[in-house]
Each structure stands twice: as C-alpha cells, then as structure tokens.
Copies of this chain bind each other. A is one copy, B any other.
Amino acid sequence: MTGKLYGIGVGPGDPELLTVKAINAIKKLDVIIAPKTEKKDGSVALNIAKEHIRPETEIIYQVFPMTVGFAADDTAWQNNKKEILALLEQGKNVGFLTIGDPMFYSTYIYVFRLLQQEKVEIETIPGIPAFCAIGSATNTPIVEGDCILSIIPANMPEERVKAALKTCDNAVLMKVYKNSDEVIDMLAAEGLAKQAVLASRCGLDDEVIIRDISQEKGRKLNYLSTILTRKDK
C-alpha cells in the first residue's frame, strides 16, 4: 500500500491557530518534508507544529530553489520529487507543512503540482493566512460589504501594483520588505496610506505592528511583513 501526501497549512504563527484537522494529520505523519530556503519558512512551520509531531516522525530537509521563472524540470526539484515518491512507495505518510494556507502563495503549490502528475494520493488541509490573523490581532477589518480586496505581492512591477491599487477598495500588500518606501508612496498616491496597518511576524514572539506607515520610511522590515489597508472615504 502506498502512503499519502499531506499538504498542511499550520496557520500564521500562533500554535493555537492550528486546526483540529491539521493536528490530526500531523500526528499521523511518518515523514515531514521541511523546505530549506534562505527565508527559513520550513523551520518556522515546524516550530508552529512541534508539539504535535511524534518523536518517531522523521524530518527530511529539502532545498527548493525559487528562481525567477521557476521550472518544474529543475534538477533539485526533480530529485526532491523522486525522494518523496520513494517514501510514498514505502507506504509512508509524508507531510509538507506550510505557514498560512498551502494553496495561497506557498512553495507547496509547486510540490503539489509535481506530485499530482504522478497520480499520488494527496490531501491538502487549509490554514489561516497571515492577513486574516493580522486583521484580528490588530482590530482591523480586512474587507466588508460590497468592497473589492486586492492581494498584491509588493515586489511586483510598479505599474502592475499601481493598476491593482486603483481598482480595489481594500488591499493586502505582501512581501513588503525590499521596496517598502516605494510601496508607501504608491499607497499614499491612491488614498490607501492613512488607514494602513503593517505587521511583521504576527503572532510570533518578535511581532511588530506599525500603524502610521508614512513615518516608517527607511525602516528595515522582516520579509514576513504585510500591510492591510483601505481607501479613505
């Protein structure tokens, strides 16, 4: 009997924001694949889940190079796939843990696609995305009523970011770290700066919450920084 691949969202950081379903799945795992990236996602996700991981569960670190123009035929990725397939063929339950939600801006999506081609049994368990946790933790309604929410990786080309900011009422800016000064200017130009809240590592011990982002130019931000905002009415 072959094993099953579980893609498990462990939520934004607070271990209490794990779901019952995620916990039950984590307890069944024989192996956990932890992505080893320069961003340390893998170890953050493992840390969130740690109290539910059985001592006998094996942790295997895999490097998933996230180059621009990600290609599924990349050798590292193919080797990772082969390793996971071999584990499944041995009848092992293999888990891939992701911060937030596994189908929402996650490395898991690429892993899922690679393995889906191989007709592997896969169960994906959703998790709470960071922006939802930030809304609750900072008393900031994310979006309501008849309003459009755009979720925008801040490192996209400026023209694309500006166009999306124009057509929405509320916005979530993700990955606000490399170009935060430019992002603050773009938000101000669209009337989106005043009501902005910036949060880094929300729910973790070193969380940072900033309410007046216009004062924050030049600040160095963590790569897990997110802005929630809405247009002035």
Spell out A's residues near B (CB within 8 Å).
Answer: 7, 9, 11-12, 14-21, 23-24, 70, 101-106, 109-110, 112-113, 116, 122, 124-129, 132-133, 135-137, 139-153, 155-156, 160, 163-164, 166-168
Contacts and interface: CB of A to CB of B under 8 A. Distances in A.
Contacts of A128: 19, 101, 126-128, 132
Nearest to A170: B151
B142 A153 contact: no
B142 A133 contact: no
A122 to B, nearest CB: 7
Contacts of A167: 150, 160, 163-164, 166-167
Contacts of A151: 143, 148-151
Q: How many copies does the complex hold?
A: 2
Contacts of A153: 145-148
The residue in A19, A152, A160, A168 that gathers the most chain B C-beta atoms within 10 A of its C-beta is A19
A103 B141 contact: yes
A103 B150 contact: no
Chain A interface mostly helix, strand, loop or mixed? mixed
Nearest to A125: B136
Contact of A18 (B20, B102, B110, B164): B20
Given A124-B139, A132-B127, A20 B21 contact: no
Contact of A146 (B20, B23, B109, B156): B156
Given A112-B141, A147-B153, A148-B152, A14 B21 contact: yes
Top 10 closest pairs, chain A to chain B, by CB? A103-B135, A16-B21, A124-B136, A126-B132, A109-B141, A149-B151, A126-B136, A163-B167, A101-B132, A164-B167
Contact of A17 (B15, B21, B133): B21
Given A9-B132, A101-B132, 9 more contacts: A14-B21, A16-B19, A101-B135, A102-B136, A122-B139, A127-B132, A128-B128, A128-B132, A146-B156
25 contacts: A9-B132, A12-B126, A16-B19, A16-B24, A19-B20, A19-B128, A70-B145, A101-B128, A101-B132, A104-B132, A105-B143, A106-B144, A112-B139, A113-B141, A127-B132, A128-B128, A145-B153, A146-B153, A146-B155, A146-B156, A147-B153, A148-B150, A150-B164, A150-B168, A151-B151
